[in-house]
Structure 1
Amino acid sequence: MWHSLQKRLAERRLTDPRYHFLFDEQPDELVCLDCETSSLKVRDAELLSIAAVRIHGNELLTSESFHVRVKPTREPEGANDETQSTSTRGIDAALEPVEAVKQLLDFIGGRALVGYYLEFDVAVLNRIVKPLIGVNLPNRQIEVSGRYYDYKLQHNPGSTIDLRLKTLLSDLQLPATLPQHDALNDAVTAGMIYLALKERGFG
């Protein structure tokens, strides 16, 4: 109910009618989203790459993925504890942030977004999305760590729940073979977690 009200208000504030399609929900499909950034602080984070993979029903459509490198507005600094990636390989072929986000919006449409700690990625994207279309991303958001928390809480009331990615993958008996901190791999991993929880009644 609250999301529906927010969505109606956002629709009225849309400044570019070309993006009205973001409000056209597609209940049969979802999009798993991940962003690779230069920092874990929203205000400082530079987009380095964006990836998204669609889910149709119970199928993760890895053949229909979206993955682009993004040209940061300033050079990423050397690796540190707050840096997800500092790779600058292929920087000449990378897209400007606004162009990358435009392409992402075309890919996701009105589909709900799925991710692991998705709030951060959406907040970074909204720094570009809002000036572009007048509103933040209106898409419904599904946080897989939250779904996992509900799943574990139902089976172990009052217990302490570990939400680290490796714990989720191990507990849900999912492969942990994909390299982490790669946007496309992380989007695929979020999709696998979502489908595993859906099988358990928490989709």
Structure 2
Amino acid sequence: MFGSLTKKWNRKHLTDERFTFLFEEDSGGEVVVFDCETTGLDPKKDGIVSIGAVRIKENRILTDEAMHIYVKQEKQISHESITIHQIRHCDLENAVPIEEAIEEFLYFIGGRTLAGYYLEFDVAMINKYIKPMYGITLPNKQEEVSAIYYDKKISTIPQGNIDLGFETIIEDLALPKLQAHDALNDAVMTAMIYLKLKHTKSLRRT
């Protein structure tokens, strides 16, 4: 009930009727897995450098319909950030303004459920922009893959000392590893984790 009231309150504050579809829950059972590469880890002061997203439909990752967009930067990207995602300011010459990137992202996700690793952070980064732009925060249902992994794993490790690192999860599930800290690659790997966990009753002890 609380969630329903929050969604209604959120919908009431939508300032652009083009995006009413965000509040219409997807009936096709699709899930969107997304990831953001950013200039840092503080949503209040850092910005989005790139967004990668893929849809999952009927247990298939639709990589041929993926979204991968780079965002123009008003400030120089710090050396610390570049060492993580390897995106330099000069690599963003053909990037788009953040407003255009956010709009494209919203049309891509629609009312679908969102999934991700460290999803709370990525959602906070998106909300940072859509709140002043459209008066709302993302109303979509959300699923955190590390939480799903924990629930599947806890029965094999009663003491609860579970490593929730991204690489650890990838290795434990015997999934292929793509180049990390690339928004689209991270989204694809997270989608593989999501599907593997959805079709696994319990995980083996490691």
Verify the 8 A CA contact 1:79 1:85 in the aligned structure 2.
no
Distance 1:38 1:85 in 2: 11
Distance 1:154 1:89, change over 3 A: farther
SS of residue paired to 2:5? helix
Q: In structure 1, give the amino acid aligned to 2:92.
A: I
Distance 1:201 1:32 in 2: 21
Instruction: Output one character per residue of 1:48-82: Cα deviation in whole Å (capped at 9) or x when no partner.
Output: 11111000021111111011100122110212699
1:3 alignment partner in structure 2 = 3
Q: Does residue 126 of structure 1 match 2:127? A: yes
1:41 alignment partner in structure 2 = 42
- Identity between Structure 1 and Structure 2 (%): 45
Verify the 8 A CA contact 1:53 1:187 in the aligned structure 2.
yes
Deviation at 1:90? 3.4
SS of residue paired to 2:93? helix
Distance 1:2 1:181 in 2: 36
In angstroms, what is the RMSD of aligned CA positions? 1.8
2:149 alignment partner in structure 1 = 148
Q: In structure 1, give the amino acid aligned to 2:16.
A: D
Verify the 8 A CA contact 1:147 1:197 in the aligned structure 2.
yes
Instruction: Output one character per residue of 1:86-131: Cα deviation in whole Å (capped at 9) or x when no partner.
Output: 4234312100011100010011101111111011111111111111
Distance 1:171 1:104, change over 3 A: same
SS of residue paired to 2:64? strand
Distance 1:87 1:3, change over 3 A: farther
Distance 1:83 1:46 in 2: 15
| Runs of 4+ more than 6 Å apart | none
SS of residue paired to 2:124? helix
Where in structure 2 are there 5+ consecutive unaligned residues?
Answer: none
Distance 2:123 2:61 in 1: 21
Tell me the TM-score normalized by structure 2: 0.91
Deviation at 1:11? 1.3
SS of residue paired to 2:55? strand
Distance 1:175 1:116, change over 3 A: same
Deviation at 1:159? 2.5
Instruction: Output one character per residue of 1:147-166: Cα deviation in whole Å (capped at 9) or x when no partner.
Output: 11111113322220000011
Structural mapping, 1:77-116, within 5 Å: 77-79=78-80, 84-116=85-117
Distance 1:3 1:84, change over 3 A: farther
Distance 1:63 1:33, change over 3 A: same
Distance 1:89 1:174 in 2: 33
2:175 alignment partner in structure 1 = 174
Distance 2:38 2:136 in 1: 22
Tell me the TM-score normalized by structure 1: 0.92
